[in-house]
Amino acid sequence: MSKKIFKSALRLFVAAMLLLSIFSGVSSAAVGLKITLVDQTPYPAQPGQQIRFWIQAENIGDGTLNDVTIQVVSDGVFSASSSESSKNYDNIYAGTKVYHEFIMYVASDAPDGPRELTVRYRTNNTTIWVEEKFTVNIGGIVDTNNRGTLIIENVSATPEVFMPGDEGIIWVTLKNNATNQTVSTSDRSVYMTNARIQSADLYSKDNIIVRSEAVNDLGLIAPGDTIRIPFRISIPEDTPADTYLLTLNITGSSYEYNIKRNIEIKVDSSGIKAIQSKAAVMGASGKTIEIDIVNYHQGTLRGVSIVPAAEGMSFYPTEYFIGEMKPDDLYTAKFNITQSGAPSDSKNGSGGSDVEFKAVYYNGDNSHEDSVTLDVGSMAPAQSSGGIFTYAVYLIILLLIAAVAGHFYLKKKRDMSLIGWMKVQKANIQAKRAAKKGKKQT
């Protein structure tokens, strides 16, 4: 009896281990990979025609996924050749996205309406497939009563030019370009010219991140009216300066009324730069320095402020506020610098120090900071031959004042001018010399 119980328990243990291995295989295949259908062309899909699906795979886990295979599954509605149905990736690193376009064909007898597209994947050399299903609409006109025509009236960005690390909004303005309330077709059918927007979506095939989800069922737009749709995006810190393209998809009342356009955004890493325009000048109240503030960025920056800083120094003003700066704008800031303590970086023992000029500003709602360090030179009073010359000038002025004062004194007391007094003194000196000379001869 005990042997039978042991064998039964052993069988249950082996079965449990097999089930655990199967479930762990499914879990390991599924963890970390997110599949998204980001685009399809045309929309809605048309029976008997080719359709292109743009699939995104994102590694949302912490580790690298190896030997990743993504496959679209053929069924009675959608079909793909064996060479077009699969895409393999050796590695998909953590936090990265990959994209692939799959080409399929819609069955000619496919019924109108929503149908499911099956996309499956497997990772890390496993044989376990994980399936994802997406809804694809098949058919003609979704809204049979409205035939308005949508156009993209305007696209703008806030900020207008991005910097690495920025977040902002892409604003898309759509307009119903119809001018009349109704339109007639060749068979004398009459339709309203309202424009229906089933969905609006913005997506990126580059490193730019679109944070807004697709906007669905925006309703009808009357002839001549507009609608403004915002899409929030973010620029990773390591994004190089360049021009990038985002894809805008607008789904109207049918395939003929859809819009697909590339939206251009610019990323520029340049900012505010401070340039010393003149040599710092030492004066009685300290040293004065002038710096030129230049906006090298391709877009307008706001709230620009320059803040100087150095240990052992005081500055006036403590902050120079500029405000808005358009591209290539230049402002000149002047600061008076006085030594308030022992400088941290004395040069040749003369008390010189570097000064950091910090530019603080906003690009859209994103705060930024640039800085440059400039050498203001010695803060000690200047010692030069110019000081001796100044003392000599002061001495001459004092002598002239004394001479003028002596002139008026003699004029008053002896009724004699300074020049007359000098002549008398000269005559007295000559007489004394002549008397000494006569004594020597005798």
Provide the CATH number for the domain around residue 358: 2.60.40.10
Where is the domain boundary, 138, 163, 195? 138
Q: Are residues 347 and 325 in the same domain?
A: yes
Q: Are residues 95 and 182 in the same domain?
A: no
Q: Which of 55, 115, 64, 116 is nearest to 94 (CA)?
A: 64
Q: Are residues 127 and 155 in the same domain?
A: no
Q: Are residues 193 and 164 in the same domain?
A: yes
Q: Are residues 122 and 51 in the same domain?
A: yes
Where is the domain boundary, 205, 235, 267? 267
> Would you say residue 439 lies in a domain?
no
Q: Are residues 259 and 294 in the same domain?
A: no
Q: Are residues 125 and 66 in the same domain?
A: yes
Structural domains counted in the chain: 5
Q: What is the pLDDT along the chain (442 residues), one digit of tens a residue?
A: 455 555 565 566 555 555 544 444 444 334 588 998 887 877 778 888 899 898 999 898 888 999 999 999 998 899 988 888 999 999 998 888 888 999 999 999 988 888 899 999 999 878 889 999 998 888 755 556 777 788 899 999 999 999 999 999 999 999 998 888 887 777 777 878 888 888 888 988 888 999 998 887 788 888 999 999 999 999 999 999 999 999 998 888 766 678 889 999 999 999 999 999 888 888 877 889 999 999 999 999 999 999 999 988 899 999 999 999 999 999 999 999 988 765 554 444 445 578 999 999 999 999 999 999 988 877 666 554 455 666 676 778 877 777 666 666 656 555 566 566 677 667 777 777 777 766 666 5
> Would you say residue 441 lies in a domain?
no
> Would you say residue 357 lies in a domain?
yes
Three-class SS of the chain: CHHHHHHHHHHHHHHHHHHHHHHHHHHHHHCCEEEEEEEEECCCECCCCEEEEEEEEEECCCCCEEEEEEEECCCCCEECCCCCCEEEEEEECCCCEEEEEEEEEECCCCCCEEEEEEEEEECCCCCCCEEEEEEEEECCCCCCCECCCEEEEEEEEECCCECCCCEEEEEEEEEECCCCCEEECCCCCEEECCEEEEEEEEEECCCCEECCCCEEEEEEECCCCEEEEEEEEECCCCCCCEEEEEEEEEECCCHHHCEEEEEEEEECCCCEEEEECCCCEEECCEEEEEEEEEECCCCCEEEEEEEEECCCEEEECCCEEEEEECCCCEEEEEEEEEECCCCCCCCCCCCCCEEEEEEEEEECCEEEEEEEEEECCCCCCCCCHHHHHHHHHHHHHHHHHHHHHHHHHHHHHCCCCHHHHHHHHHHHHHHHHHHHHHHHHC
Q: Are residues 206 and 105 in the same domain?
A: no
Q: Which of 237, 270, 274 is nearest to 371 (CA)?
A: 274
Angle ∠(354,355,357) on CA atoms, nearest 5: 145
> Would you say residue 240 lies in a domain?
yes
Integer Cα distance of 392 and 373 in angstroms: 40
| Per-residue confidence (pLDDT) for residue 379, from 0 to 100 | 66
> Would you say residue 143 lies in a domain?
no
> Would you say residue 360 lies in a domain?
yes
Where is the domain boundary, 375, 395, 412? 375
Classify the phi-psi angles of 10: left when phi > 0, otherwise alpha if psi is within -120 to 50, otherwise beta.
Answer: alpha
> Would you say residue 51 lies in a domain?
yes
Q: Are residues 306 and 352 in the same domain?
A: yes
Q: Are residues 88 and 130 in the same domain?
A: yes
Q: Are residues 79 and 68 in the same domain?
A: yes
Q: Are residues 184 and 260 in the same domain?
A: yes
pTM, two decimals, is 0.64
Distances (CA, A) of 339 to 134, 388, 400: 70, 25, 39
- The residue segments making up the domain with residue 279 are 272-375
Total Cβ atoms within 10 A of residue 53: 22
> Would you say residue 438 lies in a domain?
no
Sign of CA dihedral 177, 179, 184, 190: positive
